[in-house]
Structure 1
């Protein structure tokens, strides 16, 4: 059974799109070992 991880991303700054793209890359890297739930704030 894989461990579950929460990945927080987004925000209200001008860097929002960069944060979303970075989170997607992190999620992809983690999926082989963890169950990843992404939360966009």
Structure 2
């Protein structure tokens, strides 16, 4: 499971899939995090 200190862009694809399946994370949240990171 992810923690608050784990950046979404540091998660593996399999971890993301597990979080998507458990509804703890959405693809939209990951996309927003990646876009925010590229803007900094």
**TM bucket by the smaller chain?**
0.3 to 0.5
Under a length normalisation based on structure 2, what TM-score does the superposition of the two structures give? 0.39
More strand by share: 1
* More helix, by proportion: 2
Structure number with larger C-alpha Rg:
1
The higher relative CO (CA closer than 8 Å, separation ≥ 6) is in: 1
